[in-house]
Structure 1
């Protein structure tokens, strides 16, 4: 059978536009002799559609679009993901479904069985799980169709399953000749290798080939990396689509009979060390760990694609960004240029009396290297005006963050003025480490429409800068014939430059330490006590960082949406209360008290 995988980039809610993408892929695949084309999960409406699914008109239009597409399936069959009304008398009134279309009509409908409700997923809010797993028949072939999470409950990979049933096992038991998985699986660093391991286990474990079609593109905070692929019955990767771009992958796949010498094996016992985590999460990445070139390259392409699609799908053609001469604004600007082109990026430097000559020089040099428009606007006059305005009211009180933050807020006003005047989206530049501990200013440097680096730890920002500058695979290095980020920007101590001789480490621990604490506390939900025990970090440092993460939730709730690239990002996937009384320090303080008592006794 010749199978096409249509790795499309849908826009959430653009049903007509998404149907046009599907139709174009359908016709291309048919022209190339494909017998079957597979589309991603909810391809007609785009993933994740969120509360658009609560609008009856949206569901009606999706159903009509799939029926219209099915009417064009005569010389080719298609598996198309869509939301459809439930036919059950009880439960939620909607299914997450995939229609098998052939002979001008829908001949089978598969309903997703496993509905994720962790991290960024909330499918139980909208969908009723499938009542039963069934085989789809296409001629003499028996197709085992599944949808994304249906694949993610394999006991051979996970030592703890989130669900009681395994739809893949059930499809195999019902005599499937081929597994088909329609997916909308978001990008996370290291996830693709884990995903392939999962597919290999399913294919080899049952002696059946597996076809996996994933969505690509950015939708709000999520980036979908594509990499649709085909695994043969021995678990070998035989074809893979491109990453981070649309693709149509065609494969001639022998199905219906086991490959020569390949008998279906007995199910194997779980051997994975992956435990105590949601099924779509990966083994966590320690914040200070040096990442491989391939991981940095993937993160870079995810950030570029996420920003490009966010701007395109929201109607922005250009961006404006504040350039401080620091590492975060430099990497952010580089990503903006890669996503939108130099002609659509404007950098604005806004030095104060505390800005060093080196920082001003680095901001100008960065703009020159990236060939972007550049303005330098001193904030000294408005800064002084605010100081004079506030001085009578602050008399007798020592200067602190109140005065420092005035500078950031003056800059925010200037940047938003440019955004409004020229219709450009303002990009914020804060990284995950700063956002975690509140080392950022509300209505100042947090102002904007997209927080590009909000899920990128500080140490990874430095690693990305080096990759962008030095790696032969770096598109910007190739485009501009050399490094684009000034060397001094990478090597100088990081500083917000809001007071004389300030550095980040005046207020924060070393970023290698900070990033690991954040990764363990936020991504892995480890307690302060466990972090101290496993890392040997100073207990006071850990307690202080944990406390800063907890008390700055109110800031994060007000920040611009950011692009998710790690297992747990700040955003709609992390739902912590703002007003709450749990003290994360208690377990460690109690353990210290017991230890002290034992020593004294």
Structure 2
């Protein structure tokens, strides 16, 4: 006689550290899954109760009692459905990244994550002890296996599942986004399903946590590796999966396979989600940014409006004597098109006041970048004052190309709380601007077409100081994201002098990046948790 099992996959957005709130969400979703959908089990992401990544909150002694209390609440308030949920838990003197199965008042099974990632943005070995045993439990007489995230990036746990003759694998994840990662996951899951000879329900969390974005895209994979279902990206959702033990068949009623988004779409949606969650989870009333008439601030404005709505976004144009009429016109057009509050505050009076006070200090010295940086710092002071007064978060607008080579001003255009484009290369900024305009009008075409300029000096262009962005971004990708040496980059056909200059700029500007705001991570090597280089260093990148 065939046994059928219905599982709800809860692709939810949690808040790190809010153990009571996360627990209540688990309870509410579980009761909904049982009462409305007649589900036999409900599956939640990795470390749901604490949120992911909890970082050094895991070192707080009180987390043990808080998690134990959360599990007791679920035991007391949820009956007649199997709740499969992730949490950190102490066992035998160690802390484990655990997946537990709670049913009718007790924890009937627990699995300790075996493969602890300790690369890129991950440092789980700092906190957790690795498990070493598989976990199979029965639901309606059917053996189900548990695994957690990184376990499936290695073959060992899948082979254990095969040895245990499990009929269905439940895989809990908090897998952060980077461009094209979902394709990698799908290929990997097909291989692991074949190795385990077992279908896989792959559940990923969704949401923004500081610089990390979790993109969802939960998946259902047949035992032969066939892709049955892929869920939506960058949004909460809930999927009912029906499993028949007669032939290990799976179906997701009423749902269609979500196609992979393009690079431009996934990047843009990641930025929107990152801004929305950072602002809302940290309790800011809204955001304010400097709108210059350039491409970076235009894209940042569009992201902010799509994340929060125009009523929570303020844009300020802060012109100086070098600001062109085109910039003034385009900034106003952007603000009008997107419906945000817009104001114009000249920095001329405050710049002159500073220069008057510095007259003796600068006596006999020629003008240089000091005066340019002072303009940017005047703007930073204005935006931070508005932030303090109104409870708005200042969004900075520097892109990854600029952050890499230090084409930015400390306490000026770097002054703020969140840098939307921090991990977006300049060439990709242009591409996502075109993508956003394809959804609805947002950015004037001449903003996209005109040569980029900081407008800190007469007729200034970015390429006066930097290589062409097509060249610069390729060199930066090779050096930062792929760890090429200078010699290896030159061997790719780039000019030796340009390569050496770019690498030197990257290396000597580490001190600036350490003082930069947090920003959304969209590549495999962002400036932040991914890349931890010393400020003081005698390293040379030639070899």
Q: TM-score, normalised by structure 1?
A: 0.86
Task: Report Cα offsets for 1:50-109 as digits up to 9, x if no partner.
Answer: 011111212211122123213344321121100000215xxxx21100111123210111
Residue 259 and residue 333 in structure 1: after superposition, are their counterparts in 2 closer, same or farther (change >3 A)? closer
Matches within 5 A, 1:129-528: 129-154=130-155, 166-255=156-245, 257-258=247-248, 294-470=262-438, 474=439, 477=440, 483-528=441-486
Q: Structure 2 CA distance, aligned partners of 1:538 and 1:153? A: 40
Q: Partner of 1:253: helix, strand, or coil?
A: strand
Structure (1 or 2) with the greater strand fraction: 2
Q: Is 1:58 aligned to 2:63, yes or no?
A: yes
Deviation at 1:27, TM superposition (A): 1.1
1:557 alignment partner, one of 514, 530, 539: 514
Q: Is 1:573 aligned to 2:530, yes or no?
A: yes
Deviation at 1:375, TM superposition (A): 0.5
CA contact (8 A) 2:158 2:196 kept: no
Matches within 5 A, 1:528-539: 528-534=486-492, 536-539=493-496
Q: Structure 2 CA distance, aligned partners of 1:60 and 1:408? A: 49
Aligned to 2:117: 116
Q: Partner of 2:84: helix, strand, or coil?
A: strand
Q: Partner of 1:249: helix, strand, or coil?
A: strand
Q: Structure 1 CA distance, aligned partners of 2:509 and 2:423? A: 16
- Give RMSD over aligned pairs: 1.5
Aligned to 1:280: none
Q: Partner of 2:121: helix, strand, or coil?
A: coil
Q: Structure 2 CA distance, aligned partners of 1:445 and 1:317? A: 22
Q: Structure 2 CA distance, aligned partners of 1:311 and 1:377? A: 25
Q: Structure 1 CA distance, aligned partners of 2:248 and 2:293? A: 61
Q: Partner of 1:394: helix, strand, or coil?
A: coil
Q: Is 1:584 aligned to 2:541, yes or no?
A: yes
Q: Structure 2 CA distance, aligned partners of 1:63 and 1:459? A: 49
CA contact (8 A) 1:8 1:22 kept: no
Residue 200 and residue 81 in structure 1: after superposition, are their counterparts in 2 closer, same or farther (change >3 A)? same
Q: Structure 2 CA distance, aligned partners of 1:414 and 1:550? A: 31
Q: Structure 2 CA distance, aligned partners of 1:177 and 1:30? A: 22
Q: Structure 1 CA distance, aligned partners of 2:261 and 2:447? A: 21
Task: Report Cα offsets for 1:27-58 as digits up to 9, x if no partner.
Answer: 11112011111110000010010011111212
Matched residues, number: 529
Deviation at 1:174, TM superposition (A): 2.0
CA contact (8 A) 2:11 2:45 kept: yes
CA contact (8 A) 1:177 1:257 kept: no
Task: Report Cα offsets for 1:554-594 as digits up to 9, x if no partner.
Answer: 00001111110111100122111111111113x3xxxxxxx
Q: Structure 2 CA distance, aligned partners of 1:221 and 1:59? A: 27
Q: Partner of 2:395: helix, strand, or coil?
A: strand
Residue 258 and residue 218 in structure 1: after superposition, are their counterparts in 2 closer, same or farther (change >3 A)? closer
Range with greater deviation from structure 2 (43-52 or 98-107): 98-107
Q: Structure 2 CA distance, aligned partners of 1:198 and 1:126? A: 26
Residue 246 and residue 293 in structure 1: after superposition, are their counterparts in 2 closer, same or farther (change >3 A)? closer
Q: TM-score, normalised by structure 2?
A: 0.95
Deviation at 1:367, TM superposition (A): 0.5
Aligned to 1:24: 28
Deviation at 1:136, TM superposition (A): 2.7
CA contact (8 A) 2:216 2:233 kept: yes
Deviation at 1:388, TM superposition (A): 2.3
